[in-house]
Amino acid sequence: MSRLHHVLAVDPVRQFVDTEGMTPYDSLVEATLAEGVMPCVVPQLRSITVGGAVAGIGIESSSFRYGLVHETVRELDVLLADSTVLTCTPDNEHRDLFFGFPNSYGTLGYALRVRADTVPVQPYVTLTHHPFTSGRSFFTALGRFCDAQVDFVEGVVFDRGSLYVTTASFVDTVPFESDYRFEHIYYRSIRERERDHLSIGDYLWRWDTDWFWCSRNLWADKPLVRRLLGRERLNSRFYQKVMRWNSRWGVARRLERLAGRYRESVIQDVVIPLQHAPEFLEFLVREIGIAPIWVCPVRHRNAQHRFPLFRLDPDKIYLNFGFWDVVHTRRMHVTGHFNRLVEEAVARHEGTKSLYSDSYYTRDAFWQQYDEQAYRALKARYDPESRFGDLYDKCVRAARARH
């Protein structure tokens, strides 16, 4: 699969791109921007592949208009376990697989080719950062901006009393152009300036340089460390390598134990209906305590399209809450204590959780969230011998076994 990383065709007139499943988004963006277009939704990390984003869940600040990555897909070539390759579209005989593929994480088949929608771009993006001092006013504004004449909407919660909505729009010319790829840090700029201007390329990768704010865990927010690392290492690919090395050798965990502390990684993206967002934020601040939190609105693009493994109500606006950090405690908790609290709160607030990270659901609770009946029917039709394994076993049991 790793060789399937080529962009096959960009058609700016019919507004689609055809690309192989393992194409990382930075290659895809480079090829599409050269033709004056971009994929409708570009996940924030350069290394995420198109196939991975469709088999999992991908979201960005254009999702209030275009939905999740999989809602921008027109056609998929899927490799089944018996080596058959099927072309799936929303209206051919394999539409069940087309709609069942998102959030199946490779347990139904592998995406070899993806045809996805593109939109025309302009060379620059002008950003406006709107400050708020309460969750209620912040969420009301996020909902309102989803109907505004802007191209991108997202939010960041720095703490209970410091919340920002950022709206952004395409423009042809700008008075100046900021650079957050080396000495300056994008997330800090949100609180420092009301207006900002970036090239479209820099806008799409604004979060990658510092992996949102997670680079600070490697001290990469310090000027000296930034200079030592240099521009070429300030990106999510480099940080992921370091984090993988750390989790393999358990370095941070051992150091914390020596200091008499316990740690649990809470790395989650969850979507919550807008109307429950204020209470969910209160829960996060009170019980989990991770900040900042990335908040991104998402709406179903096509009310007729239903994705059984990631069900959203087409009449609702949802907010993706992304929170990625370590919770430190003096007291020992059962494994996954804080992640379990998040899972319970997501269910309580009628939300859904992405499965890329650690999950602790019981089998019953898991299949209440994700449509078991539809999944079983897909498995029976497309992977009857279950050679690709089961979604629960892959996303929950495997994660538990790691700890």
In whole angstroms, how close is the CB of 176 to ligand FAD at the nearest point? 27
In whole angstroms, how close is the CB of 53 to ligand FAD at the nearest point? 5
Helix (H) or strand (E) holding 189: helix 186-192
Q: What is the dihedral of CA 178, 184, 185, 189, to 10 degrees?
A: -60
In whole angstroms, how close is the CB of 88 to ligand FAD at the nearest point? 12
How many helices (DSSP H) and strands (DSSP E) are in the chain? 16, 14
Q: What residues does 293 pair with on adjacent strands? A: 157
Residue number, 208 or 371, with CB nearest to ligand FAD: 208
**Whether the Cβ atoms of residue 71 and residue 301 lie closer than 8 Å to each other:** yes
Q: What residues does 294 pair with on adjacent strands? A: 156, 322
**16-27 residues labelled b (16+ CB within 10 A) or e (exposed):** bbbbbbbbbbbb
Give, to the nearest 10 degrees, the angle between helix 251-258 and helix 236-249. Answer: 60
Residue number, 132 or 212, with CB nearest to ligand FAD: 212
In whole angstroms, how close is the CB of 136 to ligand FAD at the nearest point? 26
Residue number, 201 or 278, with CB nearest to ligand FAD: 201
In whole angstroms, how close is the CB of 52 to ligand FAD at the nearest point? 2
In whole angstroms, how close is the CB of 27 to ligand FAD at the nearest point? 12
Residue number, 43 or 351, with CB nearest to ligand FAD: 43
| Measured distance CA(308)–CA(290) in Å, rounded | 30
Q: What tokens were used for 300?
A: 């179903």
Which parts of this chain interact with ligand FAD (CB under 6 A)?
21, 43-45, 48-49, 51-53, 55-56, 58-59, 105-106, 110-111, 356
Distance of CA 113 to the CA centre of its chain: 21
Q: What residues does 131 pair with on adjacent strands? A: 164
Residue number, 110 or 307, with CB nearest to ligand FAD: 110
